[in-house]
Amino acid sequence: EPEVTQTPSHQVTQMGQEVILRCVPISNHLYFYWYRQILGQKVEFLVSFYNNEISEKSEIFDDQFSVERPDGSNFTLKIRSTKLEDSAMYFCAGHPGLAGQETQYFGPGTRLLVL
């Protein structure tokens, strides 16, 4: 069964550094999402992406964040200048978007630690 994959599984970085989190969605998926979960808190929506454009973003998704799908397969989340409070588990998700196929399939997550 196809799976969503994410790399790296863990990343440690210094405050102010740029990080890129990578996701490979399932091949027939057209809608993509990033969520994050700060330790002990809720899973929070960050951004949705369709047709190479952001379709919706949350208040968390400020100018330090960006997403792109550079090669038609990878879906990346970039944080330009990390802050301590960006430490969290980041989940990628996707779905085909066809009627009745809107269940989101999640990757295993990337645990980001900002020191």
Which residues are near another protein by CB under 8 A? 4, 6, 31, 33, 35, 40-45, 48, 50, 55-56, 91, 93, 95, 102-109
Q: How far is the CB of 114 from another protein (least distance, A)?
A: 22
Q: With helix as H, strand as E and coil as C, how does 91-102 read? A: EEEEECCCCCCC
> Shortest distance, CB of residue 104 to another protein, whole angstroms?
6
Q: Is 33 exposed, middle or buried (0-12, 13-18, 19+ CB in 10 A)?
A: buried
Residue 14 or 39 having the CB closest to another protein: 39
CA-to-CA distance for 24 and 14, rounded, in angstroms?
25
In angstroms, what is the minimal distance from the CB of 102 to another protein?
6
Give the nearer residue to another protein in terms of CB position, either 45 or 69: 45
Between CA 82 and CA 78 the distance in angstroms is 10
Q: C-beta of 16: minimal distance to another protein in Å?
A: 29
Q: State how far the Cα of 68 lies from the Cα of 63, in Å rounded to an integer.
A: 14
Tell me whether residue 9 or residue 81 sits nearer to another protein (CB atom): 9
Q: Are strands 10-13 and 110-114 parallel, antiparallel or unpaired?
A: parallel
Give the nearer residue to another protein in terms of CB position, either 6 or 82: 6
